[in-house]
């Protein structure tokens, strides 16, 4: 059993019998006919158009103006009302060559943006693919103000309904039933995929969820408290402020203490959880001051300790994991550690917690505000439950991945979720492997990127060097669902397009084997 490379059929053979490769009777006429024939509940068909390959498209919404498509397809743009004051904008891309599969894609940040690159990736892989703006336009929380409907759409409803409607559009266009349904998303899209498994377990047979922004309220609290610790929103007036140019010295000290833990000194800490970073070694001494050696004051060290330790509630329970050592060298470190207050956190405080359009004074944010912040869930947007029993019972398969150097969503939350599912469902890792697998990606940042990271494995529309179920995570979930072949490793490719690395199935970790001259899972 194998998954063919993308240059051939993206179809599975099993037991000597080829799955039927479904093709439409595509073309402009059959596509344009959908404008009049589609009748969808609470939905307006905005436009239907046919596009040969390749094409440049005009986008809906304010997030981007144009997008590229690489295969011939039928484009259905629609808007759905979810209440009298809420609704979402969505698109279904229906490729000429269709293999009977459906794919829903998620969003990022505070959503509000249709992910056109993922629509193109899905249709190029011969999935009928659907995406939405998750209930509002633009990557801010302005639309959440006094609008529970928009909040529900952001939490889970828009992705669920885009899937229900997308499946109806797909079935009508091709005149055949969908054989298998999948989901892929990262960041907020990872959270949305987890919500789908929790709340709408029948929507998908396979889910790929990356850098999941789980326990969402606590994530924003962690980001806000880190920012406050280093002086936000008035860093120049703060004795604890760590300029962006100084974080390189933090990285240097982290590597001095922890680089060798994975068996090789290569500028990467493969498993930051094994790194007990001692910030005191950065404290200025008289010699440092006299010689001009980069070092940190006591107030700055105190700020670093807030960053590199978990955040706890007043009762001592952990609110959110620590910021991982080496994540500070990622460009997106500015999200929390630039001296500015994170815009997502201030938006959430204004429009969700305080229900006001007035400017929020972030200098007031502290533990009391965090407690208030924590009380506002927004239709269960937090997304932190371990009961995936319904998804498991329907035969669903779930692949989670998270970069160990993610500066936006602390990587420890992926392990906390894994352990929560394990304890809630009373399943040890060997049993959990039957439907839920987590892959930690050494040195990868938020969803992709990272210093010497083997960060290309099909999670975005970037071709890997071979494109098989070993090297392409979307093909991996297809192979697991349709062929029963669960992935033990995901092979990532570095930016050079040649160098690869095996990414391990948690709880295994990656260690350098000098005899084999490569990283292995132990």
Q: Return the closest-CA partner of residue 229 out of 153, 296, 149.
A: 296
Rounded (to 5) percent helix, strand, coil in the chain: 35, 20, 45
Of the residues 446, 469, 479, 510, only one is catalytic, namely 446
Give yes or no: 503 in active site: no
- Beta partners for residue 129, in sequence order: 93, 103
The per-residue DSSP string of 14-38 comes to ETTEEPP--B---SHHHHHTHHHH-
Locate all alpha helices (DSSP H) within 388-468, ordered by sequence.
389-393, 412-424, 429-432
| Residue 446 a catalytic site member | yes
Let me know if 502 is a catalytic residue. no
Contact 204, 391 (CB under 8 A): no
Beta strands 397-403 and 206-210: pairing type? Answer: parallel
Confirm if 444 and 489 have CB atoms less than 8 A apart: no
Whole-number Å distance between alpha carbons of 161 and 138: 19
Catalytic residue, candidates 187, 238, 240, 385: 187
Q: 96, 215, 271, 406: which is the annotated catalytic residue?
A: 406
CA 449 to chain centre: 13
Contacts of 88 (CB under 8 A, 6+ apart): 79, 80, 82, 132, 133, 134, 135, 136, 153, 158, 161, 162
* Whole-Å CA distances, 302 to 226, 282, 403: 11, 11, 26
Burial of residue 176 (CB within 10 Å: 0-12, 13-18, 19+) is middle
User: Rounded to the nearest 10 degrees, how much is the dihedral formed by the CA atoms of 43, 46, 48, 54?
Assistant: -120
- Two tokens at 73? 């397809």
Taking the C-alpha atoms of residue 158 and residue 156, their distance in angstroms, rounded to an integer, is 6
Q: What amino acid positions are annotated as catalytic residues?
A: 187, 406, 446
């Amino acid at each position: 059993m194998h998954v063919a490379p993308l240059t051939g059929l993206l179809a599975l053979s099993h037991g000597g019998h080829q799955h039927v490769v479904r093709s439409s009777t595509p073309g402009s006429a059959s596509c344009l006919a959908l404008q009049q024939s589609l009748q969808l509940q609470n939905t307006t068909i905005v436009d239907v158009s046919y596009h040969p390959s390749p094409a440049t498209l005009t986008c809906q919404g304010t997030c981007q103006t144009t997008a590229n498509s690489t295969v011939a397809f039928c484009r259905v743009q629609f808007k759905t009302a979810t209440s009298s004051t809420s609704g979402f904008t969505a698109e279904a891309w229906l490729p000429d060559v269709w293999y009977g599969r459906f794919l829903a894609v998620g969003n990022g940040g505070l959503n509000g943006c249709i992910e056109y690159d993922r629509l193109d990736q899905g249709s190029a892989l011969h999935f009928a693919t659907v995406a939405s703006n998750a209930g509002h336009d633009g990557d801010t929380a302005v639309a959440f103000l006094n609008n529970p409907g928009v909040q529900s759409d952001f939490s889970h409803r828009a992705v669920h309904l885009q899937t229900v409607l997308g499946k109806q559009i797909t079935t009508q266009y091709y005149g055949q039933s969908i054989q298998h349904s999948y989901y892929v998303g990262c960041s907020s899209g990872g959270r949305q995929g987890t919500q789908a498994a929790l709340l709408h377990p029948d929507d998908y047979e396979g889910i790929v969820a990356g850098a999941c922004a789980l326990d969402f309220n606590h994530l924003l609290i962690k980001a806000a408290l880190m920012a406050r610790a280093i002086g936000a929103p008035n860093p120049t007036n703060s004795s604890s402020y760590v300029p962006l140019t100084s974080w390189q010295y933090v990285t240097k000290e982290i590597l001095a203490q922890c680089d060798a833990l994975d068996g090789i000194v290569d500028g990467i800490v493969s498993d930051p959880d094994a790194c007990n970073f001692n910030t005191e070694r950065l404290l200025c001494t008289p010699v440092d001051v006299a010689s001009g050696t980069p070092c940190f004051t006591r107030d700055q060290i105190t700020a670093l300790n807030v960053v590199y330790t978990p955040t706890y509630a007043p009762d001592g329970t952990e609110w959110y994991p620590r910021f991982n050592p080496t994540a500070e060298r990622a460009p997106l470190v500015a999200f929390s550690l630039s001296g500015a207050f994170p815009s997502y956190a201030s938006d959430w405080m204004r429009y969700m917690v305080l229900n006001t359009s007035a400017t929020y004074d972030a200098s007031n944010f502290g533990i009391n505000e965090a407690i208030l912040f924590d009380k506002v869930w927004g239709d269960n947007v937090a997304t932190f439950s371990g009961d995936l029993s319904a998804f498991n019972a329907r035969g669903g398969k779930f692949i989670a991945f998270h970069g160990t150097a993610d500066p936006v969503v602390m990587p420890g939350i992926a392990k906390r979720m894994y352990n929560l599912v394990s304890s809630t469902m009373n399943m040890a890792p060997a049993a959990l492997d039957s439907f839920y697998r987590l892959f930690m990606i050494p040195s990868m940042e938020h969803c992709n990127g990272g210093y010497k990271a083997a960060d290309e494995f099909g999670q975005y529309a970037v071709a890997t060097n071979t494109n098989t179920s070993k090297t392409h995570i979307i093909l991996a979930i297809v192979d697991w669902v349709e062929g029963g072949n669960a992935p033990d490793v995901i092979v990532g490719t570095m930016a050079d397009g040649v160098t690869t690395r095996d990414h391990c199935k948690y709880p295994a970790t990656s260690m350098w084997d000098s005899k084999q001259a490569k990283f292995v899972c132990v």
